[in-house]
Amino acid sequence: MNCKTPLFLLFLFSLGISYAQQSALPAYQPTRAEMMARYKKAQLLDSITRNTVVKSNVQANWLPGGKSFWYVNTLVDSVREYMYVDVVKARKKIAFDHDRLARSLGKASGETVDPQKIYLGRILFNKDAQQISFEYKRKAYLCDLITYQCNKIDSLPRDTIRYPALTTFPPRWISYHTDSLSPDKKWTAFVKDGNVYIKEIGSEDATQLTTDGSTDKPYDELAWSPDSKYVIGYHTNPVKDSSIYYVLSSNYSTSRGQLRSYSYKQPGDPFTTYDMFLFDVDTRKATKVNTEILDFFEAPVLHWKKDNRSFLYEKVDRGHQRFRIIEVDVATGNSRTVVDDKTNTFIYEQRINTCYLPNTNEILLTSEKDGWQHIFLVDATTGKDKNTVTNGNYVVRGIDSIDVKKREIWFKASGMNAGEDPYFVHYYRIGFDGKKLITLTKPGFHHNVIYSSNKDYYLDTYSRVDVPPVTELHRVSDGKLILEVERADISAWQKTGIPLVEPFTAKGRDGVTDIWGVIIRPVDFDPNKRYPVIENIYAGPQDAFVPKAFLPYGEMHSMAQLGFIVVQIDGMGTANRSKAFHDVCWKNLGDAGLPDRILWMKALAKKYPYVDIDRVGVYGTSAGGQNSTGALLFHPEFYKAAVSACGCHDNRIDKQWWNEQWMGYPIGQHYADQSNIVNAAKLKGSLMLIVGEADNNVPPESTYRLADALIKAGKTFDFLDVPGMGHGDGGTYGRAKKRDFFVKHLLGVDPPDRNNGELLSRQ
């Protein structure tokens, strides 16, 4: 789309209008009457666009055996259409005659049943789909689909078939039971008065294995070896996290505000420490493992070798710059590092996948050590790579399954296909040896794949922001297409005249890297005028946020109808690209990819002269609240207005696990340097702050302290504290105030006077 000249520009060229004249287009400046009409039209579109995109989301309910499934299409006006798919015959049909079933069900239930809006619970079909059993209002019924005779039954039959499961990776940190039964069920290990005891089942006599434990520093987190010969436990130094406090002001059952609190770990706060010990059941000997004290996260999951002579555990150093897999010899208590992954920036701990294969003494793990997130097969003894399973300038986005017998990995990735959006997710299968790569999805689209219960088939729903979804049924073994299940119908939505979302790319700050985003225009925009821009920002490094699947009408569309060009962009420092792209955020959350975003919008204005980059606003929630305020503080030459909701305005105030991952540890001067609170005196432009008084994600004092700093600096700003609200954008009221704020500060028009009935309906 970017390589084509828009039709309206061709029209301008045909009139002999030069680029200089285009860039000097008059600013869109509505009268107040025109603005009120826009508000009313936006309200109308908010209403009439609901449920106008249908058949876009197939939720398959697989029947026993995995050879057929049913699903429901929710059509315009909430009409429900039940569909049945026979996979073997590659056929789909209406599951039943809705009118006849409604009449018969009405007789059986004694109620009037609307045939267009029947809500059935779990549904089962017999082998030839001639009978159907289902739940309706918590009661079970059986209906013959030849005679349409329905009768109540006691209950629905249960599917007792055991299906192969896709891999679910266990947690890498775990809280074990301290009162623990051995695998052979002969012993129990427990903690009493802070010390470790064991005793035989059936015996009253217990043997005390430690004496230096106490209630203040107890032994804890006991776990058995698979052969029941050893107990592993930890001498702990517990840390109780400090509390965050807030007041619920509007509990009308009392005349007093209610104080609330919750435990909350902030950057720099200490962790409980774990000193690892081995307890030999035969000798009753306690051995301190020769390894570092665990002072970050909780006790690790233990992965035992096949011979039970040693186990592996994982350790992430605080600061997220080192990840290790460590082996412990239970006979000696000695340890050694098997895998040692280090970086000068950060290791994204939450995206490390590890799968231990004791039968072959191997480990499958993901790492960005070659600059991209990839899968590696590692020798569990030497720690050396046996195979680089995936490699190239693309990102493994997740592992769906590991077939140990076939030595195959089912995974999803983005960026493998040259020439397409590098964020599009595709699905693949590959051998442990990195060979026989099978592609399960077609290029040019963003995909979401759901596998059948027996894992023989999959439903692939693919789309783009500007192309509605198609859902297809495929065979897993070779990816063969069996049936097109549904193609989304957007005809009712298109009748509203709302333009499709447009993807747009421009070069980032390095002049080489493509930055991706989307643009949303008003229904009736005039290409001969320049419209203000509003950016919806969220630059949290944990992911990427620009939509890739089809984007129907939502808040960004609604805001655009007021006379704005609304955009969303993923700048450098966000995830799902190369390690170098992501590393921009390291100790640098204040950057927020803003240099890339600014260049992107300038490139957009160069292509589309109706984009007015002299009037740019920005809004965001949570990390986006931090980013939007930061846009005014650090780039006031470009951004002119911002609405910031529940922002983490100083990364020292926000949650430990999120901020230390990107800002590092220990807490240094860079935390203060990038603080919106510390830099409050730099404010230029127009700012609105929103906070919920009951926010238990980002402490409300983050916003209150920013307000305090702005007041002390003599700055002018708007402030909205929403009683009783938690973490969010202010809800319906906050979103209305946000729109009004941008109308006033970017379009220069006073918003509706709702107190005097100018716009009675809520936004």
pLDDT digits over 425-437, tens only?
999 999 999 999 9
**Cα Rg of the chain (Å, integer):** 30
In residues, how long is the chain? 763
Where do runs of H (alpha helix) occur along 617-679?
623-634, 656-663, 669-673
Would you give the distance in Å from CA 373 to the centre of its chain? 18
Per-residue confidence band for 169, with pLDDT thresholds at 50, 70 and 90 = confident
For residues 447-460, average pLDDT: 97
Same-domain check for residues 72 and 46: no
Torsion angles phi and psi, residue 125, rounded to 5: -110, 150
Q: 231-240, 249-258, 277-286, 663-672: which has the minimum mean pLDDT?
A: 249-258
173 pLDDT tier (thresholds 50, 70, 90): confident
pLDDT tens digits along 144-154 = 999 999 999 99
Q: How confident is the model at residue 172 (pLDDT cuts 50, 70, 90)?
A: confident
Could you report how far apart the first and last alpha carbons of the chain are, in Å? 33
Q: Is the pLDDT of residue 78 over 60?
A: yes
Say if residue 586's pLDDT is above 70.
Answer: yes
Question: Are residues 510 and 628 located together in one domain of the fold?
Answer: yes
**Residue 725 within a domain:** yes
Residue type, 446: H
Q: Are 189 and 279 in contact (CB under 8 A)?
A: yes
Predicted confidence (pLDDT) at residue 6 exceeds the cutoff of 90: no
| Whole-number pLDDT of residue 760 | 58
Indicate whether 4 pLDDT > 60: no
| SS3 call for 631 | helix
Query: Do 475 and 482 meet the contact criterion of CB atoms below 8 Å apart?
Result: yes
Asked if residue 505 and residue 586 are part of one domain, the reply reads yes
Q: Which of 120, 153, 186 is the last residue of a domain?
A: 153
- Beta-carbon contacts of residue 300 (< 8 Å; ≥ 6 apart): 172, 173, 174, 294, 313, 314, 315
| CATH number, domain with residue 656 | 3.40.50.1820
For the four alpha carbons of 561, 564, 565 and 569, in that order, the dihedral sign comes to negative
Helix axes 594-607, 623-634, angle to 10 degrees: 70
Q: Report whether 704 contacts 656 (CB < 8 A).
A: no
- In 10 A of CB 448, how many CB atoms? 18
Give the helix/strand (H/E) hosting 354: strand 354-357
pLDDT digits (tens, 9 = 90+) for 345-400: 999 999 999 999 999 999 999 999 999 999 999 999 999 999 999 999 999 999 99
Residues 524 and 655 in one domain: yes
Alpha-carbon separation of residue 362 from 306, 316, 370, 378, 486 (angstroms)? 11, 20, 20, 6, 42
CA atoms within 13 A on the CB side of 625: 29
Does residue 735 form part of some domain?
yes
Q: Which domain holds residue 114?
A: 67-153
Share of the chain above pLDDT 90, in %: 91
> Would residue 431 count as lying in a domain?
no
Residue 78, SS3 per DSSP: helix
Residue 671 has pLDDT above 80, yes or no: yes
Confidence of residue 177 (pLDDT cuts 50, 70, 90): low
Q: Which of 90, 121, 153 is the last residue of a domain?
A: 153
Report if residue 315 sits inside a domain: no
Instruction: Give tens-digit pLDDT for 619-649.
Output: 999 999 999 999 999 999 999 999 999 999 9
Residue 68: how many other CB atoms lie within 10 Å: 22
* β pairing state of 686-692 and 718-722: parallel
Same domain, 28 and 108: no
Q: Is the pLDDT of residue 39 over 70?
A: yes
Where a domain ends, among 153, 184, 214?
153
Q: Quick one: 522 and 624 in the same domain? A: yes
The pTM of the full predicted model, rounded to 2 decimals, is 0.93
User: Residue range 716-726: average pLDDT?
Assistant: 96
Question: What are the percentages of helix, strand and coil residues in the chain, rounded to 5?
Answer: 20, 35, 50
Closest CA to 338 of 389, 288, 376: 376
Task: Classify residue 121: in a domain, yes or no.
Answer: yes
Angstrom distance (rounded) from CA 739 to CA 737? 5
Distance CA 450, CA 379 (A): 32
- 309: alpha, beta or left, given left = phi > 0 and alpha = psi -120 to 50? alpha
Query: Residue 257: CB partners within 8 Å, gap ≥ 6?
Result: 247, 248, 249, 251
What is the arithmetic mean of pLDDT over 275-294?
97
Residue 525 lies in a domain: yes
- The H-or-E segment that residue 231 falls in is strand 230-237
546 and 663 both lie in a single domain: yes
Nearest to residue 674, comparing CAs of 651, 703, 644?
651
Residues 45 and 132 in one domain: no
**SS3 track for 176-243:** CCCCEECCCCCEEEEEECCEEEEEECCCCCCEECCCCCCCCCCEEEEEECCCCCEEEEEEEECCCCCE
Query: For residue 708, what is the DSSP state?
Result: H
Does 78 share its domain with 43? Answer: no
Same domain assignment for residues 587 and 521: yes
The average pLDDT across 238-244 equals 95
Res. 421: pLDDT tops 60:
yes
86 and 33 in a common domain: no
Answer yes or no: is 292 within a domain: no
562, amino acid identity: L
Domains: count for the chain? 2
Does residue 429 lie in a domain region?
Answer: no
15 and 115 both lie in a single domain: no
